[in-house]
Amino acid sequence: MAQATRKKPAAKTADATVSARIAAQGHFRTLRLGTPFQPRLDALAKTQDWYNWAGYRAPHSLWDEELEYFAIRSQAALFDISPMIKYRIEGPDAEAFLDRVTLRDVTKLKPGRVHYTAWCDDEGFVLDDGTLFRLSPTRFRLCSQERHLPWLLDGAIGFNVTVEEETEAVAGLALQGPTSFAVLRDAGFAGVEKLRVFDLADFPHDGATVTISRTGFTGDLGYELFVPADKALSLWDRLMTAGELRGIRAIGYTALNRARLEAGLIVANADFTTAEHAIRADRLRRPDEIGLGFMIDPENAHFNGRRAILEARAKRKLRHVLVGLEIEGNIPAEHAIVYHKKHQEVGLVSAAMWSPMAKRNIAIASLARPYGDTVVEDLWVEIYAMRELQYQKLMKRAKVMPRPFIKLDRRTANPPADF
Amino acid sequence: MKAWDAIIIGGGHNGLVNACYLQRAGLDVLVVEKNGWVGGAATSRELTPGFLYSNCSYVCSLFRPEIMRDLELPRFGLQVISYEGGAVFTRDGDYLANYRDHDAHRREFARFSRRDAEAYDRYARDVTRQCRFIQPLLMRTAPDPTSLKPRDLGELLYLGKKFAGLSAEEMALTLRFWTMSISEFLDEYFETDVIKANFALSGIIGTALGPMSPGTAYVLLHHYMGEVDGSVGAWGYARGGMGAVTKALAASFKASGGTIRTGAEVDHVLVSRGKAKGVVLAGGEEIYGKLVVSNADVKRTFLKLVEEKELPDIFLRRVRNFKIRGSSGKVNIALDSLPEFPALPKDSPVYRGDMHFTDSMERMERAYDDWKAGRWSTDPFLDMVIPTTLDPTMAPPGKHFMSCFVQYAPPKVNGREWTDADRNGFAESVIAQIAEYSPGFRDRIVHMEVRTPREIEAEVGLTEGNIFQGELTFDQLLFNRPVPGYAQYRSPVRGLYMCGSSTHPGGGVMGAPGRNAAAEILRDLAKSTSHMSPAHDVI
């Protein structure tokens, strides 16, 4: 019956849809996809230390996670961000739609600019955070950790806008570190020096266009580059060639994760649980509870979750707070319990490290208010440091610190310095 | 004359679980089983040389790990082989697969709808939340809401607290989940018909309801329960067929000193002055016991094995009205080679999983329409597995055993009893459907066992062939299962207990009813239950 239908010429489109669908069956043979940069990563992956990033094979490290970190701080580091989820949002109502869906005021985001934002469900619980790129007056790219197509499509009802997932079609690279500007300039991206922090612009590359923004996840001078997937390898080669004498190195996530912690940036489903994945209702978080309260402008007319968020503020229903901690000593306090007066449990460290830049023992923690909010004295963390099959139990004093933990003038300097 | 401490009527998995726990508590226990073998609906039988059939139940998913541990089933030979996926074949020559890997699962759904692919996480979150609410109740005796006993009040409070612990949104979802249809529930997450059909099948299996009938969302939950506590091999084939589960139980029972008599059909329960004294076998032999536990379903127990005069009117009426409608059948097939499915790549893990052919909600509901009209479905819903792709012990080398669970099959055909001709017609509807997707399928068939509700009732003793000993609709759950006032495994006859799937928490090869009943019996006897592991925490 189905066969007969397929032979009718009128059913040609349906036929093509079915053929395309059948052609895609074989994905079960490759559970972790390679990114468009995979041939280059594979060639450099001396540690063969992979992890699963949203269904892609991504490197924890490539050759030496320590040196990879220092490439970010002292040279230029190239990190493949292709697995990041990307949505293309386009149409006359794109601005209004995104203003409705996301927390920050999108009417203030000019074409050619990027901002860090987040979005919430109807109860004001955070679904994810991400970056919003305004590519033109009517075209945006939203990058996020988790997937949100049903949420975005449902939100788009009533707006003249299209939402398309373009994760596989668009390859992305982060080029971060003091020499990153010089690498781009030497690679021939004329005019890249004009980019101020959170600016973006298009540049020609290999018969196509690469979108370069002065953004990143390291708190350092750095850029992110987005290019059609089929131009990925030529872009990689162009940067690597130009950066050879500027110490350019490909890096894995371990190094990046250190840099982001020094920069005080949070990671969804590491430092907080996203609302669509929280099985336990008490794990949900409002923006004010994970340090994203700054995104909310109560005057901004109408965004999703606004009523619940403002009500929680007014009725003091905010139960948690996310803080930066400086911990005495030099032993990282990863996933340590935070105490008040050494005995009352008040929270948990979600990320911690010894910061080579700040020369401090730093951490991000979620605390139960009022601890970390109005009560910031007498906080402690209990560190269980496993040393040769014995826990060295340490009770160390913790001080609430403003984030970022490091501030580098070169990140914002204009024009960017030629290192 | 010897009086056993306990006589268990029926050697199904719950009867054996119950018997094991009682024997291990120091009781002298006898299991009487009408068939020449134990197992009830969890059996493996060789009906044609070289082939073992899982005659009724065919996959292992819900069996409680606490019971496996207490009764040392791995030691007594139980091995569960996890299977790797499954698929619904579509009429356009494609299929929609379920893969264990999260990302493969998403990419597979994305072949049909990118939106639905990304909707799965929210669906999984909500279903998991509901399972986490229900799952701790499985291994607890349901409270009697009319009782003022401290224990019942305590259990009610526990239920109430659990419910009060839900957010307003979750509470609304919970109530809807327990009452709505699986079709409506899936509409809230997915837009693609075949994706909905893929999930909906868990909402109708073993139930005389269609995907659009209210109450079917809960049935889906019941099938997901096995996955909540992350037991390894949550879904799998018991090596040697489902009989391996009851074989291990029987071995465990015997090792602890228990006695099993097969070929011993109980005619009725001996009752004297409102108290059970033993059983009378079909041949007239009387066996005495201090207490009697029935693994048979509630209708068979109280409408056939106990005289009416021993039972209160209201109880009897409720037992008569208990919904235990026959809705499914089973076709077991011996194949001389592995069937080919041209739509499926040869290296697909789906061959080692469950396969289905109902690719739309409407087809599923139409199949139910046939049942309502008193016919078997002309286009039935099949849950088909080929365990021999993972278990070489069930067929000769190169040959295969295929199990087809078939829905819908009415308890009576157009109001009359099933005939052999009906049974053949029923089998043909199954074979025709498979052959549509697997050319040459008919030629591979060596032998077939076709089981309509008639055969299942006659052999296994399940009323109307209902696999759950009573439907899992919300009106028949918790303190209403099987009937209000008798949800704690006891009956109006003192010393007569129930331990089958007619009791809380219901059917599936789970073992929880048998275990919970044992706990109640030991409580009545003031015996220790220290050999029974408490339910695992859900944190």
pLDDT of residue A257: 98
Rounded to an integer, what distance in angstroms lies between the CA atom of residue A140 and that of residue A88?
A: 6
In order of A272, A353, A361, the CA distances from A382 in angstroms are 20, 15, 14
Q: If you average pLDDT over every residue of chain B, what do you get?
A: 94
**Do A103 and A226 lie in a common domain?**
no
**Do B182 and B116 lie in a common domain?**
yes
Q: Do you know the residue count of chain A?
A: 419
pLDDT at B230 over 80: no
**Do A299 and A386 lie in a common domain?**
yes
Asked if the structure places residue B438 within a domain, the reply is yes
The verdict on B75 touching A (C-beta cutoff 8 Å) is no
Residue A395: strand, helix, or coil = strand
Please report residues of B whose CB lies closer than 8 A to that of A24.
Answer: 107, 111
Cross-chain residue pair A146–B121, CB shorter than 8 Å: yes
Q: If you average pLDDT over every residue of chain A, what do you get?
A: 95
Rounded to an integer, what distance in angstroms lies between the CA atom of residue A145 and that of residue A147?
A: 7
Residues 274-333 of chain A with CB under 8 A from chain B are 276-279, 281
Number of domains in chain B: 3
**Do B222 and B163 lie in a common domain?**
yes
**Do B377 and B501 lie in a common domain?**
no
pLDDT in tens, A3-45: 444 444 455 678 899 999 999 999 999 999 999 999 999 999 9
**Do B216 and B162 lie in a common domain?**
yes
Residues 39-58 of chain A with CB under 8 A from chain B are 52, 54-55
Place B76 in a pLDDT band, splitting at 50, 70 and 90: very high
Out of B463, B492, B516, a domain closes at: B463
- Tokens representing B349 are 């893990």
CATH of the domain at A212: 3.30.1360.120
Cross-chain residue pair A277–B169, CB shorter than 8 Å: no
**Do B103 and B133 lie in a common domain?**
yes
Rounded to an integer, what distance in angstroms lies between the CA atom of residue A45 and that of residue A59?
A: 8
**Do B448 and B514 lie in a common domain?**
no
**Do B330 and B374 lie in a common domain?**
yes
Residue environment code for A273-297, b if the CB has 16+ CB neighbours within 10 A, otherwise e? bbbbbbeeeeebbbbbbbbbbebbe
pLDDT of residue A83: 98
Q: Average pLDDT, stretch B240-259?
A: 98
pLDDT of residue A211: 98
**Do A303 and A394 lie in a common domain?**
yes
Out of A131, A165, A199, a domain closes at: A165
**Do B288 and B359 lie in a common domain?**
no
Instruction: Identify the domain containing residue A132 by its residue range.
Output: 85-165
Asked if the structure places residue B533 within a domain, the reply is no
CA angle B47, B51, B55 (to 5 degrees): 55
Residues 189-218 of chain B with CB under 8 A from chain A are 189
Residue A271: strand, helix, or coil = coil
Instruction: Identify the domain containing residue B426 by its residue range.
Output: 324-463
Q: Average pLDDT, stretch B466-493?
A: 93
Asked if the structure places residue B87 within a domain, the reply is no
Please report residues of A whose CB lies closer than 8 A to that of B359.
Answer: none
Out of A165, A186, A204, a domain closes at: A165
**Are A373 and A290 spatial neighbours (Cβ–Cβ below 8 Å)?**
no
Rounded to an integer, what distance in angstroms lies between the CA atom of residue B481 and that of residue B222?
A: 15
Place B232 in a pLDDT band, splitting at 50, 70 and 90: very low
pLDDT at B407 over 90: yes
**Do B345 and B427 lie in a common domain?**
yes
Out of B171, B194, B227, a domain closes at: B227
In order of A62, A65, B494, the CA distances from A254 in angstroms are 10, 6, 67
Question: What is the interface size between A and B, counted as CB pairs within 8 Å?
Answer: 78
CATH of the domain at A144: 3.30.70.1400
Q: Average pLDDT, stretch B420-433?
A: 98
Asked if the structure places residue A31 within a domain, the reply is no
**Do A241 and A121 lie in a common domain?**
no
Q: Higher-confidence residue: B335 or B143?
A: B335
CATH of the domain at B423: 3.90.660
**Do B128 and B193 lie in a common domain?**
yes
Number of domains in chain A: 3
Residues linked to residue A77 through DSSP beta bridges, in sequence order = A176, A249
pLDDT in tens, B273-309: 999 999 999 999 999 999 999 999 999 999 999 999 9
Q: Average pLDDT, stretch B513-526?
A: 97
Q: What percent of chain B has pLDDT over 70?
A: 98
Question: How large is the greatest C-alpha to C-alpha distance in chain B, in angstroms?
Answer: 72
pLDDT in tens, B10-31: 999 999 999 999 999 999 999 9
Check whether the bond before B143 is cis (ω within 30° of 0): no
**Do B138 and B247 lie in a common domain?**
no
**Do A55 and A77 lie in a common domain?**
yes
CATH of the domain at B297: 3.50.50.60
Q: Considering only the beta carbons, identify the residue of A1, A32, A277 that sits closest to B91.
A: A1
The verdict on A374 touching B (C-beta cutoff 8 Å) is no
pLDDT at A400 over 70: yes
Q: Do you know the residue count of chain B?
A: 539
Query: CA nearest B191 in A: which residue?
Result: A150
Check whether the bond before A415 is cis (ω within 30° of 0): yes
Asked if the structure places residue A413 within a domain, the reply is no
The verdict on B93 touching A (C-beta cutoff 8 Å) is yes
The verdict on A7 touching B (C-beta cutoff 8 Å) is no
CATH of the domain at A303: 2.40.30.110
pLDDT at A220 over 70: yes
pLDDT in tens, A224-246: 999 999 999 999 999 999 999 99
Asked if the structure places residue B535 within a domain, the reply is no
**Are B338 and B400 spatial neighbours (Cβ–Cβ below 8 Å)?**
yes
Q: What is the DSSP string of A329-370?
A: SSS--TTPEEEETTTEEEEEEEEEEEETTTTEEEEEEEEETT
| Choice among A321-330, B140-149, B367-376, B488-497 with the minimum mean pLDDT | B140-149
Asked if the structure places residue A296 within a domain, the reply is yes
Rounded to an integer, what distance in angstroms lies between the CA atom of residue A61 and that of residue A253?
A: 6
pLDDT in tens, A349-362: 999 999 999 999 99
Probe site for chain B from A7, A28, A32 (most B CB atoms < 10 A): A28
Asked if the structure places residue A331 within a domain, the reply is yes
Asked if the structure places residue A93 within a domain, the reply is yes
pLDDT of residue A11: 58
